[in-house]
Amino acid sequence: MSATILDGRKVAAAVLERVRDRAAALFERTGVRPGLTVVLVGENPASQVYVRNKTRRAEEAGFVSRLVALPADVTRERLLAAIDELATDRSVHGMLVQLPVPEHLDPREIQRAVPPEKDVDGFHPLNAGRLLLGDDDGLVPCTPLGVIELLDHYGIPLEGRHAVIVGRSNIVGKPLLHLLLARHATVTICHSRTADLEATCRQADVLVAAVGVPGLIRGGHVRPGAVVIDVGINAIEDEAAGRDLLEGQARRLERFLAKGRTLVGDVHFGEVREVAGAVTPVPGGVGPLTVALLLQNTLQAAERQLGECG
């Protein structure tokens, strides 16, 4: 059996089209375009790629998109002042500080400085609490929202199903737990101390990997016919790892060997696609959805700030 490949790019394009249309309608009614500002501290190459992608997509959707780039040695006070300035700027409806930030800065303090109504990452404690309580007036982290969007697009049922999440991060695992519970799934979270990861994963109807360990989930972790969602985005350079994880993907392996670097997920795609009913690829799975849902969150924030129902 070979699994259905869940095409995140296609689903993201559908979300972006919806967002573009709604943003255009908002502009017609109010004369205001949604504004997204991304703050980048330092020059982390991966963050630079992510941030460029976010700002470019925002422009394409008809948003007012801004990047505030601060040096790696920016002081805590200067960064908090920059956040405060954006917090009071009425043309900025959504804002985020790209993570990770340099060691001398405290990400928790930064997340608390972003006003909850502009917190399009959904990382502020108030938004985390609203999600936990099932309130629908908060902002929800983009990657877990993207996972649900993908499952819904493909008509994958959740009610009464067993979802197993591997990874307990504040950005993915924990918020996804609440979204899946709200959809009446039975949810298990696994992590580095889980006693028998393979056996627990094999119970899943829907298995979500979000730990940042290349190829952790192998064929043996998957019940035949299960749906497997790979949230991991890991850069690898080791040749033996590349040969293992790109097994059965001859063209990708060839490009990796030429370039010496590639991106893989937390799922061993070659093994899992032989067992699963459906699986997301990396790249082209959950990644594109994260950005699309960030724009949807920004639009929702703008609608609310402009006094629309959103």
Length of the chain: 310
Exposure pattern of 269-306 as b/e (b: 16+ CB <10 Å)?
A: bbbbbebbbbbbbbeebbbbbbbbbbbbbbbbbbbebb
Count of residues interacting with ligand GUN (CB under 6 A):
7
From 96-104, 150-158, 162-170, 197-205, give the range in contact with ligand GUN by CB under 6 A: 96-104
Where in 137-166 is the site for ligand GUN (CB under 6 A)? 142
Q: Which of 37, 55, 65, 98 binds ligand GUN (CB under 6 A)?
A: 98
Give the pair of three-digit tokens for residue 46. Answer: 């991966």
Q: Which of 15, 95, 96, 267 binds ligand GUN (CB under 6 A)?
A: 96
Q: Which is nearer to ligand GUN, 6 or 97 (CB)?
A: 97
Q: Which of 117, 119, 121, 303 binds ligand GUN (CB under 6 A)?
A: 121
Catalytic residue IDs? 54, 98, 121
- Is 99 a binding residue for ligand GUN by CB under 6 A? The answer is yes
From 92-100, 215-223, 234-242, 248-256, give the range in contact with ligand GUN by CB under 6 A: 92-100
Exposure pattern of 200-215 as b/e (b: 16+ CB <10 Å)?
A: bbbebbbbbbbbeebb
- Please give the helix or strand (H or E) that residue 36 lies within, else none: strand 35-41
Pairing of strands 162-166, 262-264: unpaired
Q: Which is nearer to ligand GUN, 121 or 303 (CB)?
A: 121
Give the pair of three-digit tokens for residue 164. Answer: 């197993």
- Is 266 a binding residue for ligand GUN by CB under 6 A? The answer is no
- Is 171 a binding residue for ligand GUN by CB under 6 A? The answer is yes
- Report d(CA 82, CA 86) in Å as an integer: 6
Q: Which is nearer to ligand GUN, 171 or 207 (CB)?
A: 171
Q: Is 57 helix (H, G, I), strand (E, B) or coil?
A: helix
Q: Which is nearer to ligand GUN, 3 or 211 (CB)?
A: 211
Residues at the contact surface with ligand GUN, assessed by CB under 6 A: 96-99, 121, 142, 171
